[in-house]
Amino acid sequence: MKTVYNHSNHSNHSNHSNRLNSSWPKYFRDRLILGNPDSDSAVATLWTPMNVVAKIVDVSKVSVIGQLYTKRGINYLLRNVLLNPRIKRLMLVGADLMEAGDTLFGLKKGLDLRRKARPYQRPDWLDENISSDGVGKFINNVDIINEIGPVSSNKLTAFVNESGIGKPWSKPISFPEAKAAGSGGLPSEDTGYTVRGEKIWQVWIRLLQLINRFGRPSPMIHHYGAERISELINLTAVIYDENPDPPDIPDWLPFTKTDVKKYVAGFLSSSRGDEAYTYGERLKSFPLEKYDQKLLEDLRHCEGALGARGNLEDIRQTFARAISDKTLNQQKIIVEKLKSFPENKGAIAVLWEPIIDNFGLREIWRTPCLVLVQAVIRDKKLFLTAYFRSNDMFGSWPLNCFGLRAFQKETAALIDKSIKLGPLTTISHSAHIYENNWQLAEKIVHDHWSDVSCEWDPRGNLTFEVEADFIIIKHLSPDGIFLDEYRQNGQEEKAAKRLCFRLESAGLFSTIGNAMYAARQIERAETAIKLGLPFISDEPLDFKKKYAK
């Protein structure tokens, strides 16, 4: 975002103002549009791009214009405003997809809106280092004007025109920084990590644990509030059984069912509203105005798009149906391709605009993180894979997945009512957690790891038996169908080690927990054979029987 400074009408600034100019705002300075720091007014545009507002008003009359996405973002708004107590008026305007605006306005009313109409109590999103006294001073001295919703030029202009030079209502108030937990950075593979689970929240806990332990501290291109990230490269996450309607959202998650519902509605909408882009727009209404119109009209260029299974006329009709008003509905193309040939390897939607997104024609943080979606049908199930160039795994990934799962369900229904939902897979090239969320990510894993510590292995199950001197292992499918048998003489030296190597080389394990469980059973079986003890799987060996003999 272009940063605007204007000092032309303020040559008589105090020394304090000059110092403020160079150091304020302290947080997310590079993501804000700066005007006159002595102004008593500021604007928070929520999810609506702040440049939309900046084009309407005289920026030099306001202190700052910035966006507010989430409730946790309120912490940085509070910190910045309390460091510049000249600000007495704050307008909230734009799309409030995550209820951050409503929550901030709720503070003024003495309510925590996440807890509905209960008396005010310290919200769970509030940084523990920001004192209640500081919040109280903000509430008592800053007038919040609630214009959440579509941007009104008249109301914005009136608000800005009423601004003036602010008289500080306090000395600048600062708070200790949140103490970030140390990012793990433990030795690990350089790239290629995988986590799996039935539900989005289960996979989320597992991937947070992975990044907490093995993520490497990494600087950011823009130092928003001097933050770092903890990062893994190429993290694959697989969700097997999330029902998008209704989704499984435990009460302890840092987002609500309402948050998810709003996000999904925006994800599925083909309209981008005031946004620079939305995923729904890129998937269902990809802009074509910058593309050569002759190329688009010459449908012969689509020849072969459906492969050997489609004829040229079918291709022309498919492409023509997907274009309207100079936009391309990529979801329709995916649907038509998979209707024609369920295992089509080209049912792909691309969200990256090379001309726009590669060359900085939009601000770098306004380019899509989700850049590719691919679908395929196997066994009458729709599999969906999504590739993210960059992904905030704490704040964004869960909502991204709820949106993708809803898109997956919608696409499956458009193909055929009989198509079921297969797994959803996300591949995040830069899978990271922001420094200010490290501590909370560790707490969530600590509090809820026991809920996900047991993981079924999709490669099947093993049974363990002893017959005379032999250890016998049977490999069963997840459905209980017999697949193979492995036998090892338990009297041989290092029998358990030999058998474990055979199972490993057969590729029977996709989870470490299952491999460790098998190794324990095999070692016990070898011990039982060599000591002449009875062996029952999952039961402790009874050494008393040996000594009783």
Phi, psi of 286 (to 5 degrees): -60, 125
Residues 361-404: tens digit of each pLDDT = 655 457 899 999 999 999 999 999 999 999 999 999 999 999 99
Phi, psi of 346 (to 5 degrees): -115, 20
| DSSP states of 84-136 | STT--EEEEEE--TTSHHHHHHHHHTTB-GGGTTSBP---TTS-TTS-HHHHH
Quickly state the pLDDT bin for 70 (edges 50, 70, 90). confident
Reply yes or no on whether the pLDDT at 297 is more than 80: no
Residues 238-291: tens digit of each pLDDT = 999 999 888 899 999 988 888 899 899 999 998 877 777 789 999 999 888 766
Residues 74-114: tens digit of each pLDDT = 999 999 999 999 999 999 999 888 889 999 998 876 644 33
For residue 305, the one-letter residue type is A
The neighbour count for residue 165, using CB atoms within 10 Å, is 13
Decide if 230 contacts 181 (C-beta within 8 A): no
The neighbour count for residue 167, using CB atoms within 10 Å, is 10
What percent of the chain is modeled with pLDDT above 90? Answer: 62
Q: What's the pTM value of the predicted model, to 2 decimals?
A: 0.78
The confidence score (pLDDT) of residue 13 equals 39
Residues 191-245: tens digit of each pLDDT = 999 999 999 999 999 999 999 999 998 877 654 444 688 999 999 999 999 998 8
* Residues 316-323, mean pLDDT to the nearest whole number: 67
* Residues 120-140, mean pLDDT to the nearest whole number: 83
The confidence score (pLDDT) of residue 84 equals 96
* Residues 433-457, mean pLDDT to the nearest whole number: 90
Quickly state the pLDDT bin for 182 (edges 50, 70, 90). low
The confidence score (pLDDT) of residue 72 equals 84
SS3 content of the chain, % helix, strand, coil (to 5): 40, 20, 40
The confidence score (pLDDT) of residue 10 equals 36
Q: Which domains does the chain have, with CATH numbers?
A: 15-161 (no CATH), 193-283+335-451 (3.30.572.10), 461-548 (3.30.420)
**Lowest mean pLDDT, pick from 325-329, 370-374, 480-484:** 325-329
What percent of the chain is modeled with pLDDT above 70? Answer: 83
Residues 488-541: tens digit of each pLDDT = 999 999 999 999 999 999 999 999 999 999 999 999 999 999 999 999 999 999
The H-assigned helical ranges of 225-329 are 257-268, 279-284, 293-297, 312-322
- Would you mind telling me the total number of residues written for the chain in this entry? 549
The confidence score (pLDDT) of residue 19 equals 45
Mode of pairing for the β-strands spanning 348-350 and 370-378: antiparallel
The confidence score (pLDDT) of residue 181 equals 57
Q: Cα-atom radius of gyration of the chain, to the nearest Å?
A: 29
Residues 397-428: tens digit of each pLDDT = 999 999 999 999 999 999 999 999 999 999 99
Reply yes or no on whether the pLDDT at 454 is more than 90: no
| Average pLDDT for the chain | 85
The neighbour count for residue 483, using CB atoms within 10 Å, is 12
Decide if 42 contacts 81 (C-beta within 8 A): yes
The confidence score (pLDDT) of residue 366 equals 73
Between 185 and 363, name the one with better pLDDT: 185
Strand (E) or helix (H) holding 529: helix 512-531
